[in-house]
């Protein structure tokens, strides 16, 4: 389990996160949503140890985040950030192999090579393994990074679970690959020892695929739980200042939001 | 595994063969041309006292051979330094000189020339490299501290390069001031620094530069994986399990020691560190595991060619080596800047 307890973080007088507590469960897709400037990315940065909160603790499987070394953490947790830039010519498989860095010291072993190959096949980028990363389109680059972060946690951890944290993973992807990615994520979770935390902007995709949704507004958690509890009229009106039309079909298990 | 090793393995032997040929040519021709026989018998008489061997053999053993070896080592060190800095700053147009290392080293060396004799205690033949090294470390540290933003403590590339230009100007005018106040012989020594030349090569300098450079390259090779990860970004490298602060400090230290010691014996030789790694990247990709070894070999080759040019163009007079590398390096640098796929 990944949990954040009483996290407070501020820059100057502006409080970005105000006493935020949330638990994320393995085998589930946990999505964080909220309007611009709500504190989603700040929370993700705290979870990734990129910034230290003034108050509160983050624990991975019960162990305090601060007690992990960078390498120990790298072996069980991978992170997909936004806006990755790479200004050197590298082949696609070289980029994916970077995911295996926490696992080998000098030369990658056959296990590392296999993880990369399988992760590339999983996200449909194996065919471009020998292409120059810099010549790829935005969507192709994003899929290469999916393969990289998945290769990093490809094998089950010796004890406890694996963690995958993603900040807006669907940017640059067309609708086909958005759905393909979410379906693959669902498939990945069949093993039950992977915990996924992500930030998404698209509320319909969030509603369709998430097991747990956390809605953040003005640095506080407005609601947390399943889509019915979180994506209701009042919450959306408060967070996004828009009136939604909610269409729900319990028989087909579908749930849609429209805005006018 | 196949994929990983294939890329560069084809290019290493080619560079090595070319390097051997160029070094032989470099030893053979100069103010006086030597024959291969003279070079060969010079090697055979290695342990015969120098005054009992013919002049040509002495030229070979005491001037040409150490010079060719020093040239190769310095070229290797500068190119590896360039590759390291480019990886560290995630930008393919950075070189050691741009962040102040070499001008600081030249300042340290100049200071030693002018006031070094006034000190009673010194480190003998190590004093000059130590002074240069200290100068290089101080100037590089200054560039880093001054270019860090107040907001988040990170150095932007633009800030770093601009601060580098300012600090370079400061230390080079310091060198100019020292040369202005120095006596004639001291001033000549200082001029030698700022232009760069290998004419002072001897076995002592080969030993000192050789040991320090090889050690530094060996250390650098331990961090190639980390440097690769850094290409995607500092935060990402940390997510891949790398302690960024430690890595930065170590790589900077390796680079400063290597470049400052080379510079202390040869003066400022620019652009080798910029062009060599870049050329290899265009040829074979950016994996630092191979780029660093490749840069060492290619840097040795490029500087050896430049040294031949420096000695042959105005024969029997000699052009400063730094002048030759700049004549070649400046246009290449500008072409790189104008290419679209590089941004600051």
Question: Cα–chain-centroid distance for residue A100?
Answer: 19
Query: Are B241 and A72 within 8 A, CB to CB?
Result: yes
A88 vs B92, B225, B226: nearest CB:
B92
Maximum CA extent, chain B: 69
Between residues B299 and B29, the one the model is more confident about? B299
Do the Cβ atoms of B333 and B93 come closer than 8 Å?
Answer: yes
Chain A: give the shortest CA distance to residue B91, in Å: 7
Query: Are B239 and A89 within 8 A, CB to CB?
Result: no
Mutate to test the interface with A, among B6, B232, B290, B344 (most CBs of A within 10 A): B232
| CATH class given for the domain over B12-338 | mainly alpha
Select the highest-mean-pLDDT range: A149-153, B99-103, B314-318.
A149-153
Band (B155; pLDDT cuts 50, 70, 90): low
Between residues B306 and B58, the one the model is more confident about? B306
Domain housing A73: 2-84+159-259
Chain B: give the shortest CA distance to residue A257, in Å: 35
Q: Report yes or no on A217 lying in a domain.
A: yes
Q: Report yes or no on A154 lying in a domain.
A: no
Chain A hits for B232, Cβ within 8 Å? 84, 86, 95, 98
B233 vs A84, A105, A110: nearest CB:
A84
Cis peptide before B316 (omega within 30 of 0): yes
Proportion of chain B above pLDDT 90, given as a percent = 26
User: Residue length, chain A?
Assistant: 260
B235 vs A69, A81, A105: nearest CB:
A81
What is this structure's pTM?
0.84
Say which range, A57-61, B98-102, B311-315, has the weakest mean pLDDT: B98-102
Task: Say if residue B72's pLDDT is above 70.
Answer: yes
Q: Report yes or no on A133 lying in a domain.
A: no
B91 vs A87, A93, A106: nearest CB:
A87
Band (B131; pLDDT cuts 50, 70, 90): confident
Q: Report yes or no on A24 lying in a domain.
A: yes
Distance of alpha carbon B159 from alpha carbon B139, whole angstroms:
15
- Give the chain A residue whose CA is nearest to the CA of B235: A50
A79 vs B231, B239, B343: nearest CB:
B239
Q: What is the pLDDT of residues B324-341, one digit of tens each?
A: 998 888 887 788 777 655
Proportion of chain B above pLDDT 70, given as a percent = 91
Q: What is the pLDDT of residues B212-263, one digit of tens each?
A: 999 999 999 999 989 988 888 888 899 998 988 888 888 888 988 888 888 8
CA dihedral A124, A130, A133, A136 (to 10 degrees): -60
Q: Does B243 touch chain A (CB under 8 A)?
A: yes
Q: Does A116 touch chain B (CB under 8 A)?
A: no
A87 vs B3, B90, B241: nearest CB:
B90
Output the CA–CA distances (angstroms, integers) from residue B1 to A112, A114, A240, B297, B312, in the order listed.
10, 10, 51, 23, 45
Neighbours of A207 (CB within 10 A): 23
Chain B hits for A152, Cβ within 8 Å? 240
Task: Say if residue B344's pLDDT is above 50.
Answer: no
Distance of alpha carbon A45 from alpha carbon A40, whole angstroms:
9
Extents of the domains making up chain B: 12-338
Q: Number of structural domains, chain A?
A: 1
Do the Cβ atoms of B75 and B304 come closer than 8 Å?
Answer: yes
- Give the chain B residue whose CA is nearest to the CA of A134: B341
What's the token pair of residue A52?
């230290």
Residue B44 has what pLDDT?
A: 82
Q: Does A152 touch chain B (CB under 8 A)?
A: yes
Q: Mean pLDDT across chain A, nearest whole number?
A: 91
Which whole number is the average pLDDT over B300-323?
Answer: 90
Neighbours of B313 (CB within 10 A): 11
Distance of alpha carbon B143 from alpha carbon A64, whole angstroms:
37
Between residues A19 and B284, the one the model is more confident about? A19
Query: Are A101 and B341 within 8 A, CB to CB?
Result: no
Which whole number is the average pLDDT over B289-302?
Answer: 93
Do the Cβ atoms of B117 and B93 come closer than 8 Å?
Answer: no
Q: What is the pLDDT of residues A61-71, one digit of tens each?
A: 889 999 999 88
Residue B156 has what pLDDT?
A: 67
B231 vs A71, A88, A108: nearest CB:
A88
Mutate to test the interface with A, among B230, B240, B289 (most CBs of A within 10 A): B240
Q: Does B122 touch chain A (CB under 8 A)?
A: no
Chain A: give the shortest CA distance to residue B328, in Å: 23
Q: What is the pLDDT of residues A9-60, one digit of tens each?
A: 998 888 999 999 999 999 999 999 999 989 999 999 999 988 889 999 999 9
A174 DSSP assignment: -
Segment 28-87 of chain A within 8 Å of chain B by CB = 48-50, 69-75, 77-79, 81, 84-87
Query: Are A101 and B342 within 8 A, CB to CB?
Result: no
User: What CATH number corresponds to the domain at position A39?
Assistant: 3.40.50.300
What's the token pair of residue B104?
């600081």
Q: Report yes or no on A149 lying in a domain.
A: no
Q: Report yes or no on A187 lying in a domain.
A: yes
């Amino acid at each position: 389990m990944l949990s954040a307890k009483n996290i407070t973080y501020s820059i100057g007088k502006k409080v970005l996160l105000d006493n935020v507590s949330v638990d994320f469960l393995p085998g589930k897709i946990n999505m964080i949503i909220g309007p611009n400037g709500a504190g989603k990315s700040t929370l993700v940065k705290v979870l990734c140890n990129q910034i230290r909160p003034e108050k509160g603790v983050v624990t991975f499987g019960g162990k305090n985040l601060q007690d992990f070394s960078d390498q120990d953490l790298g072996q069980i947790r991978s992170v997909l950030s936004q806006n990755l830039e790479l200004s050197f010519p590298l082949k696609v498989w070289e980029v994916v192999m970077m995911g295996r860095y926490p696992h080998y010291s000098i030369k990658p072993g056959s296990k590392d090579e296999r993880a990369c190959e399988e992760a590339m096949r999983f996200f449909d980028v194996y065919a471009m393994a020998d292409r120059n990363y810099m010549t790829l389109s935005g969507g192709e680059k994003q899929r290469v990074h999916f393969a990289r972060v998945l290769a990093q946690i490809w094998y089950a951890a010796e004890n406890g679970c694996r963690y995958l944290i993603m900040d807006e993973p669907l940017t640059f992807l067309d609708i086909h690959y958005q759905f393909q990615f979410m379906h693959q994520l669902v498939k990945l979770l069949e093993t039950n020892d992977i915990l996924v935390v992500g930030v998404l902007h698209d509320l319909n995709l969030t509603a369709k695929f998430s097991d747990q949704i956390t809605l953040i507004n003005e640095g506080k958690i407005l609601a947390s739980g399943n889509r019915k509890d979180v994506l209701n009229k009042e919450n959306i009106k408060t967070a996004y200042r828009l009136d939604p039309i909610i269409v729900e079909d319990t028989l087909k298990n579908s749930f849609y939001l429209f805005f006018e | 595994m196949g994929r990983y090793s294939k890329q560069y393995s084809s290019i290493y032997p080619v560079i090595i063969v070319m390097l051997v040929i160029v070094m032989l040519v470099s030893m053979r021709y100069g103010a006086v041309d030597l024959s291969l026989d003279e070079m060969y018998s010079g090697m055979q008489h290695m342990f015969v006292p120098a005054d009992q061997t013919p002049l040509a053999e002495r030229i070979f053993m005491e001037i040409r051979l150490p010079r060719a070896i020093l040239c190769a080592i310095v070229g290797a060190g500068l190119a590896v330094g360039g590759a390291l800095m480019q990886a560290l700053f995630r930008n393919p147009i950075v070189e050691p000189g741009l962040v102040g290392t070499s001008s600081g080293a030249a300042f340290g060396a100049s200071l030693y020339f002018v006031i070094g004799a006034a000190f009673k205690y010194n480190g003998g033949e190590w004093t000059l490299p130590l002074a240069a090294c200290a100068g290089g470390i101080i100037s590089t540290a200054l560039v880093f501290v001054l270019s860090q933003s107040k907001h988040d403590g990170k150095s932007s590339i633009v800030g770093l390069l601009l601060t580098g230009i300012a600090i370079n100007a400061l230390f080079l005018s310091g060198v100019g001031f020292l040369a202005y106040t120095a006596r004639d012989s001291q001033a000549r020594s200082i001029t030698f620094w700022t232009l760069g030349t290998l004419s002072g090569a001897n076995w002592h300098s080969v030993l000192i530069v050789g040991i320090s450079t090889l050690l530094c390259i060996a250390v650098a090779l331990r961090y190639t994986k980390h440097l690769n990860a850094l290409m995607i970004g500092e935060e990402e490298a940390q997510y891949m399990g790398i302690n960024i602060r430690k890595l930065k400090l170590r790589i900077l230290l390796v680079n400063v020691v290597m470049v400052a010691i080379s510079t202390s014996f040869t003066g400022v030789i620019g652009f080798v560190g910029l062009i060599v790694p870049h050329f290899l990247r265009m040829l074979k990709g950016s994996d630092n595991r191979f780029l660093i070894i490749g840069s060492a070999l290619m840097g040795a080759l490029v500087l050896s060619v430049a040294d031949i040019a420096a000695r042959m163009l105005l024969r029997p007079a000699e052009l400063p080596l730094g002048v030759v590398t700049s004549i070649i390096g400046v246009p290449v640098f500008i072409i790189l800047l104008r290419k679209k796929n590089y941004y600051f």
